[in-house]
Amino acid sequence: MVTLGVARISDQGLHLIDQQLVAARRASNTQLLPRLSALLDQLGIERHQVGSVVVGRGPGSFTGVRIALATAKGMAQAAGCALVGVSTLDAIAFNAQISGVRGEVGVVADAMRGEVYPVRYRLTDQGVERCEADAVLKAPAAAERWRDAGLQLTGDGLAKHAALFSACGAPLPRELWNATGAGLVACAEAAWRGGGAHPFDARAHRPGAVLPVYTRLSDAEEAERARLAMPAPRNLVSGVQSASGARAGSMHARAAIDARQAVSGVAYRPLDADRVSSVAAIEAAVMSGDPWSEPMLASELSAAGRVWWVALAPEGADAAGESVPLDDLRVVGYAGCLVVDGEMQVLRVGVSPDMRRHGIARELLERCARDARDLGAARCSLEVRAGNASAQGLYRSLGLQAGGVRPRYYADGEDALIMAGPLPIGAHRAGGMSLRDQVSAAAANGDPDAAASVVGNARSMAAGSVEGPVRPLILAIESSCDETGAAVIDGEGTLLADVVASQVDFHARFGGVVPEIASRKHVEAICGVCEECLEQAGARLGQGPLAWADLDAVAVTYAPGLMGALVVGVAFAKGAAWAQGLPFIGVNHLEGHLHANKLGAADLRPPLVASLVSGGNTLLVEVRDWGDYRVLGETIDDAVGEAFDKVAKALGLGYPGGPVISRLAAQGNPDAIAFPRAMLHSGNLDFSLSGLKTAVTSYIGKEREVGRPLNVPDIAASFQQAVIDVQVAKALRALEETGATTFCLGGGVAANPALRAAYQQACDQRGVRLVLPPLSACGDHAGMIALVALERFRQGRFFGLDADAQARCDLERPY
């Protein structure tokens, strides 16, 4: 359902002008902006007159909420106006109140999976009073809680569960079951009248600060919590049970923390049963008078509404941990909380004395707070010893304030100071993710040409050295998987900025990308990434941050990729383009990887043959011209990057698998094990990686069964060589068939040193020009999307506001 409303604000309040409710089913991304634009045109309102955007944050359909919120974020950020986030359930209640309903009302919203979001309200002439915090419950449990309550019922959950709730009261008319524009406006006005910021205050209502209401963790996180609560012989990185019954810690090689998976040399993970004893030991050492016992801590893991995190570090307070297996790290800190009635109640926080003043307690509390937020918490409270000045200082720095005293609260008679405030998540620009500048990274990796020039432009990219922009200026966005990227390119093809926020730390503990988590993180990061990008672009032009009004177009990856990730980028980009009246450009992600080779060779021109090798794709492509492609061969099962990740997981090496396999392979013998070269002599240019992956995992299993220690470097080297042999052989065959004299490589696996070296040797022997993307440009980033967007801008090939993301697409098909 697409809900729209237009209101005028004055000192007397917000006054609804018009509203629409459109059944969009699963097409809200194609309906939202066209309907809104048409409604404003009908009312004679120009887009520059919009001073505030009000959006429902949920809870509700995850995809629908994210599309609405990402669109609203793009609109508000590009227009420089306020974004006011309100509860969708509150909007339903306000809609009933506006319609004349009074008394006790129960809103029952559909949460899918047989669950509902149930909240009770009290409706009076003065307004709406919420009686419960957001929660998600199985429908029968929610109905039992309200049994015989005599409520007036509303919400789309009644469409599925009306019979269950029949004992709870009588349903309101069906036209009151959904949020409306009037309800959203009434929510915003009530917050303002209740002491909230003015709806036009853009500083108080920043788009990046507005996030969806989920009320539960992702499925992967919930399954992880259940698994970690049970002591078992397993690999703590991959979660795979040990076939021999021995702890996976006995493997020869395991995952190590590195710069991507650790904060200042410390790794953070949810607490598992095997580490409870270590937490109890620290608890006994640092908590005077009343430490929790090991059984008490163990019981927390399976209790409802609990969130526990631990900090892990190698021996030695300042060790970098670059090659220390995760299983060998010691617990150096912990934090736990209870989430109840919309509040995060901090239960315990402790850090080993030798690891204090490393920011560990702050990071642990932020990790707990992010989970608590996803479980529906909006505020935080805790008790702290009245005499613990250092802890109180930490909590005050996190925004908590003293609000009372519990006399003689602790076992030794000391008073407890009660502190409360907002969730201690911190003011991270990109949702807790680090931002990487691709332009600077290219220069740091020894690729000054890549940082300074693409498409024949030789201007220096030192900060402030580019004299004035060359039109057009295009901002491009990439969100096809687990990287949120934004880049600005000018009319000569110079990348003025190329910023990436990586989610690898959030996915590493699951052994691969979790689509639901990826989508959530894009919503958190996208505003901050674009802000940083515009600031860097302005700095390289020797001025302040670029404004959205300085741009000539907005581009985005529309396909292929993870659908939940793509829709966030597409919705945001469309909202931004609409707000500034700019052309909207959709870009094929695979075409972006082809164009990334321009970053290493400004003079690159078709015809050529390219190999695209990544976690999701393995293709051989004939590039007859930019935009004119013929797929010569592709994988019939696993992609190359996927095979690397699966082999790494089987070896307990963690995620991502490519870099660690590559490092280990450099120490091994590539001829040690005769793994199969699938489809090497198939007579076509297709690939198959599934059989090779199965052969490697079978070899690992057999070696373990007979008790032989694994020679992991030899396994990694032999597996990698089997992949390389097939990739290079088929690439050479493609060059022969097409007559092309230039070969290119693209995708994340293009960073593999052995693969690059093999292609270099083969191309040198045959007199073929080899063009490789800079190492910094092999993975997903928005710079490659900007390169394609520049060409499409020149050709006038734009998308409409009804465009949508696509999980799959045909590279050969023009778009």
Q: Could you tell me which residues are annotated as the binding site?
A: 589, 593, 612-616, 645, 658, 752, 780
Residue 86 near residue 187, CB atoms below 8 Å: yes
Residue 73, phi then psi, degrees to nearest 5? -60, -45
> Per the annotation, where are the binding residues for substrate?
612-616, 645, 658, 752
Alpha carbon distance 792, 637 (integer Å): 32
Tally Cβ neighbours within 10 Å of residue 800: 11
CA distances from 119 to 145, 157, 353, 771 (A): 11, 12, 44, 59
Three-state secondary structure of 3-71: EEEEEEEECCEEEEEEEEEECCCCCHHHHHHHHHHHHHHHHCCCHHHCCEEEEECCCCCHHHHHHHHHH
* Angle, helices 88-98/181-193, rounded to nearest 10 degrees: 100
Q: Which residues contact 96 (CB under 8 A, 6 or more apart)?
A: 105, 123, 152, 154, 172, 176
- Give DSSP secondary structure letters for 319-343: ---TT-BGGGPEEEEEEEEEEETTE
Cis peptide, bond prior to residue 472, ω within 30 of zero: yes
Residue 195 near residue 201, CB atoms below 8 Å: no
What's the DSSP call for residue 434? P
Residue 677 near residue 727, CB atoms below 8 Å: no
Q: Is 80 left (phi over 0), alpha (psi -120 to 50) or beta?
A: left
Residue 672 near residue 714, CB atoms below 8 Å: yes
CA distances from 362 to 275, 358, 372, 380, 395 (A): 20, 9, 15, 14, 9
Alpha carbon distance 383, 348 (integer Å): 9
Closest CA to 103 of 81, 128, 83, 79: 128
**3 state DSSP class of 189:** helix
Q: Alpha-carbon dihedral of residues 271, 275, 277, 282, nearest 10 degrees?
A: -70
Residue 585 near residue 797, CB atoms below 8 Å: yes
CA distances from 283 to 230, 280, 333, 351 (A): 21, 5, 9, 8
Tally Cβ neighbours within 10 Å of residue 789: 30
Alpha carbon distance 407, 426 (integer Å): 31
Question: C-alpha angle with apex 609: 605 to 613, nearest 5 degrees?
Answer: 115
Tally Cβ neighbours within 10 Å of residue 346: 22
CA–centroid distance for 726 within its chain: 34
Pairing of strands 379-385, 401-406: unpaired
Residue type for position 404: G
Token representation of residue 698: 């079978």
> Per the annotation, where are the binding residues for Fe cation?
589, 593, 780
